[in-house]
Protein backbone atom coordinates (compact mmCIF):
# COMPACT_ATOMS: atom_id res chain seq x y z
CA UNK A 1 0.00 0.00 0.00
CA UNK A 2 1.35 3.40 -0.97
CA UNK A 3 1.92 6.11 1.63
CA UNK A 4 1.61 9.86 1.24
CA UNK A 5 2.05 12.76 3.63
CA UNK A 6 -0.82 15.11 4.36
CA UNK A 7 0.89 17.80 2.28
CA UNK A 8 1.32 15.39 -0.66
CA UNK A 9 -2.29 14.27 -0.35
CA UNK A 10 -3.51 17.87 -0.43
CA UNK A 11 -1.48 18.76 -3.49
CA UNK A 12 -1.89 15.47 -5.39
CA UNK A 13 -5.37 14.32 -4.37
CA UNK A 14 -6.53 13.70 -7.94
CA UNK A 15 -3.54 11.47 -8.67
CA UNK A 16 -4.02 9.56 -5.42
CA UNK A 17 -7.69 9.02 -6.21
CA UNK A 18 -6.76 7.72 -9.65
CA UNK A 19 -4.53 5.13 -7.96
CA UNK A 20 -7.30 4.20 -5.54
CA UNK A 21 -9.68 3.70 -8.47
CA UNK A 22 -7.29 1.08 -9.85
CA UNK A 23 -7.67 -0.90 -6.63
CA UNK A 24 -4.65 0.31 -4.65
CA UNK A 25 -4.95 1.78 -1.19
CA UNK A 26 -3.11 4.85 0.09
CA UNK A 27 -2.14 5.52 3.70
CA UNK A 28 -1.92 9.21 4.59
CA UNK A 29 0.63 10.04 7.26
CA UNK A 30 1.26 13.03 9.50
CA UNK A 31 4.73 13.32 10.96
CA UNK A 32 5.43 9.74 9.92
CA UNK A 33 2.38 8.22 11.63
CA UNK A 34 -0.64 6.88 9.74
CA UNK A 35 -3.75 9.02 10.23
CA UNK A 36 -6.04 8.01 7.37
CA UNK A 37 -6.47 5.44 4.65
CA UNK A 38 -7.91 5.86 1.17
CA UNK A 39 -9.34 2.58 -0.07
CA UNK A 40 -11.41 1.74 -3.12
CA UNK A 41 -15.16 1.70 -2.70
CA UNK A 42 -16.49 -1.86 -2.96
CA UNK A 43 -17.93 -2.57 -6.35
CA UNK A 44 -21.65 -3.26 -6.41
CA UNK A 45 -22.46 -6.91 -6.86
CA UNK A 46 -24.99 -6.15 -9.52
CA UNK A 47 -28.12 -8.07 -10.28
CA UNK A 48 -27.75 -11.69 -11.21
CA UNK A 49 -30.18 -12.20 -14.07
CA UNK A 50 -29.75 -15.97 -13.91
CA UNK A 51 -31.46 -16.00 -10.49
CA UNK A 52 -34.48 -14.23 -11.97
CA UNK A 53 -34.59 -16.61 -14.95
CA UNK A 54 -34.45 -19.62 -12.62
CA UNK A 55 -37.20 -18.24 -10.42
CA UNK A 56 -39.46 -17.48 -13.38
CA UNK A 57 -38.95 -20.93 -14.86
CA UNK A 58 -39.63 -22.66 -11.52
CA UNK A 59 -41.27 -20.29 -9.02
CA UNK A 60 -41.17 -21.32 -5.35
CA UNK A 61 -43.97 -23.68 -4.40
CA UNK A 62 -44.10 -22.67 -0.74
CA UNK A 63 -45.94 -19.60 0.43
CA UNK A 64 -48.76 -17.68 -1.17
CA UNK A 65 -49.10 -16.81 -4.82
CA UNK A 66 -49.61 -13.21 -5.87
CA UNK A 67 -53.28 -13.94 -6.58
CA UNK A 68 -53.72 -15.41 -3.08
CA UNK A 69 -51.97 -12.42 -1.49
CA UNK A 70 -54.25 -10.03 -3.38
CA UNK A 71 -57.33 -11.98 -2.34
CA UNK A 72 -56.22 -11.69 1.29
CA UNK A 73 -55.44 -7.96 0.90
CA UNK A 74 -51.74 -8.56 1.62
CA UNK A 75 -50.70 -6.61 -1.48
Distance CA 53, CA 74 (A): 25
Distance CA 63, CA 43 (A): 33
The answer to whether the Cα torsion of 54, 55, 57, 63 is positive or negative is positive
C-alpha dist (Å) from residue 35 to 4, 5, 43, 46, 63: 11, 10, 25, 33, 52
pTM above 0.75, yes or no: no
pLDDT tens figures, 2-47: 999 999 999 999 999 999 999 999 999 999 999 999 999 987 777 7
pLDDT tens figures, 51-69: 788 777 776 666 777 888 7
Give the bridge partners for 27, in sequence order. 3, 37
Domains of the chain: 2-38 (3.40.1620.10)
Amino acid sequence: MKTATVADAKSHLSALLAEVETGQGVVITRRGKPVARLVPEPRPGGFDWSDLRNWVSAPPTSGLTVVEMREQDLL
